[in-house]
Chains A and B, each alone.
Chain A
Amino acid sequence: MTGGDFAPGASVRVRDDWPEARGPAHIRTPHYVRGKPGRVVRRLGEFPNPEDLAFARPAARVPLYHVAFDPAAIWPDAKGGDELLIEIYAHWLEASP
């Protein structure tokens, strides 16, 4: 559950996973970036996994990254050049070739 280790600039993809469809879940990964490509900007630190904290389960510390997304890859009417910056936990990220 600790996920990968990503350097600034690394190309990543957010896992196209929908735990809320399988039962009660607490998720900090916005639905609109699931399955979308992004770029790691910086590592923000390690924090207890909120997906476990929310259910009072023991929560492992997981790395948290600031990830940049191109809005044009998400919204059909987005303006080029802008950027979405979102905090994503390591276990939601996979390396993207």
Chain B
Amino acid sequence: MTTILETDGERLLVAVRALLADKGIASMAEIAERIAVTDRASPAQGARMVARAWTDPEYRALMLRDGARAAEAMGVPMRGAPPLGVLENTETVHNLVVCTLCSCYPRAVLGYPPFWFKSAAYRARAVRDPRGLLAEWGTVLPDAMKVHIVDSTADYRWMVLPRRPEGTAGWSAEQLAAIVREGDMIGVTVPTA
């Protein structure tokens, strides 16, 4: 007899999906919709939120108060997703997000985590040697800048609202969104014009 660990993934998916439907837990259509939502999520969604926060003070306030509502306001489906907290980088504080326990990540707004986010090296070094780690990303912070390392361990998911770079005055939200990268919203890098 084949154990669950040895079973072909596709056959296992078909079997589990049929069981969930038979037991009335989730229909085939609901599962297909959730897979589609998950596949559509990408850093471009978070980048659109960041760009709007840079150009719309009311939206920025909403984003810092309730990240999930701010995501929904941009058309990102958040039903069933964990609460989203947004950490604002300022002139004095730089935020860095890590999940030392596993791989908690704001997938609804950033998509699948990059491979290194789950690596033991990133998880260990982000909390132990954040400035050394940032320097390897080319992110050198002034000594006076405080680093807040946010270890995402439980029911919230966290994204960083980076500072708007100089040289972007008068840019449209689309232009601004195009310079915001995944790493800027995790906090390993900062956007540049």
Chain A residues in contact with chain B, CB under 8 A?
28-30, 32, 44-45, 47, 50, 64, 71, 75, 77-79, 81-89
Contact, CB under 8 Å: B154 / A85:
no
**Nearest chain A CB to B155's CB is how many angstroms away?**
4
Q: Is the CB of B149 within 8 A of A28?
A: no
A87 to nearest B CB, angstroms?
Answer: 4
Q: B128, B129, B130, B148: which contacts A85 (Cβ < 8 A)?
A: B148
A64 and B154 within 8 A (CB): yes
Tell whether B27 is near chain A: CB-to-CB under 8 Å: no
Contact surface of B with A, Cβ cutoff 8 Å: 83, 85, 100-101, 127-131, 146-156
Interchain CB contact under 8 A, B151 and A86: yes
Residues of B within 8 Å of A81, CB to CB, are 146
Inter-subunit contact A47/B101 (CB<8 Å): no
Determine if A30 and B131 form an interchain contact, defined as CB atoms under 8 angstroms apart: no
18 sampled A-B residue pairs with Cβ under 8 A: A28-B154, A29-B153, A32-B127, A44-B155, A44-B156, A64-B155, A64-B156, A77-B128, A79-B131, A79-B147, A82-B147, A82-B148, A82-B149, A84-B127, A84-B149, A85-B148, A87-B153, A87-B155
Residue of A nearest to B87 (CB): A85
| Residues in B neighbouring A64, C-beta threshold 8 A | 154-156
Among B83, B151, B154, B155, contact of A84 (Cβ-Cβ < 8 Å): B151
Name the CB-closest residue of B to A65.
B154
A29 to B85, CA, bound (A): 19
Residue of B nearest to A29 (CB): B153
Q: How far is the CA of A28 from the CA of B155 in the complex (A)?
A: 10
Distance in Å from the Cβ of A1 to the closest Cβ of chain B?
A: 16
Known A28-B154, A44-B155; contact A83-B127, beta-carbon cutoff 8 A: no
Among B85, B152, B154, B156, which residue has its beta carbon within 8 angstroms of that of A50?
A: B154
Known: A75-B128, A82-B130, A83-B146. A28 touches B153 (CB 8 A): yes
